[in-house]
Amino acid sequence: SQQGEEDPQALSIQEGENATMNCSYKTSINNLQWYRQNSGRGLVHLILIRSNEREKHSGRLRVTLDTSKKSSSLLITASRAADTASYFCATDTTDSWGKLQFGAGTQVVVTP
Amino acid sequence: DTGVSQDPRHKITKRGQNVTFRCDPISEHNRLYWYRQTLGQGPEFLTYFQNEAQLEKSRLLSDRFSAERPKGSFSTLEIQRTEQGDSAMYLCASSFLGQGSGYTFGSGTRLTVV
C-alpha cells in the first residue's frame, strides 16, 4: 500500500495556465517532498517541506502542507510545455525516518 | 561526481535467468535506496543501506531478490530466476541522512523478462 495518494491522476492544461495537484497521506511525517519524472527517466527532487512548515516556494512552484488534514498541494504557475511530466509526492514518516514512500503520481500534460 | 549512475540502462533477459544491476551513488551520500516502479505507478520501496549496513530488506519482493553494498560504495541488486512479473524499472537513489535535501535518483534500469 502507498502512503500518499495524489489527486487528480491526470491533468491537462495549456501553456500559461496554473496546475494544481494534491496529495493526501496517512501517518505522521517528518517532511513531505515532491518529485518530477519525465517519461522513462528517473525522478528529480523539486521541493521539500517540513512538518512544521505550512508553505514553501521555489521558482514557479508553491507547496502547502496541512498536517491536521494530512494533505499537501503543489502549484505550478505559468506552466510551460517542458513541465509535462508525472509528479509524485513522497512522505518521510516519523516511524521510518529518511525512507520515502511515494504516491501513484499525477500525470500533467501541458499543451502549447 | 555528476550524480547517481545506474548500469545497465536496459536489460532484456529470458525467464529463469539471473540478472544483476549496479548503482553508483553520489560519493558524499551515506544512504542508498532501491525502488521498483511499474507502469503508471509510483516507486515502490525495496531496500536501503546506510553506509554498508542494510537497514531494511523486508520489502524485497521475494527471496529471489538480494542487494549488497560492499564497503559502503556502489550497490548491486540481484534477481535470481527472473519471472515475467519482475519486468519493471529499477531505480536507485542516494541521500545524505540529516541534510534534509531529498533524494538524488539515477535514471533507472529497465528490465524486460521475456
pLDDT tens for A23-40 read 999 999 999 999 999 988
Q: Find residue B89's DSSP bridge partners.
A: B37, B110
Higher pLDDT, A5 or A54: A54
Closest by Cα among A44, A28, A45, A9 to A91: A28
Check CB contact under 8 Å for B45 and A98.
no
pLDDT tens for B81-112 read 999 999 999 999 999 876 667 999 999 999 99
Q: Give Cα A15 distance to the centre of its chain.
A: 19
Check CB contact under 8 Å for B42 and A103.
yes
pLDDT tens for B10-36 read 999 999 999 999 999 999 898 999 999
Check CB contact under 8 Å for B102 and A40.
no
pLDDT for residue A1:
45
Give the count of alpha carbons within 13 A of A83, CB side only: 27
pLDDT tens for A37-65 read 998 888 999 999 999 999 999 999 999 99
Closest by Cα among B104, B34, B25 to B72: B25
| Cβ-nearest to A43 among B41, B97, B105 | B105
Report the alpha-carbon distance of residue B25 to residue B100 in Å, rounded: 17
Question: A6: distance to nearest CA of chain B, Å?
Answer: 10
Contact of B42 with chain A, judged by CB distance below 8 Å, is answered with yes
CB neighbourhood size of A102 (10 A): 24
Q: What is the mean pLDDT of chain A?
A: 93
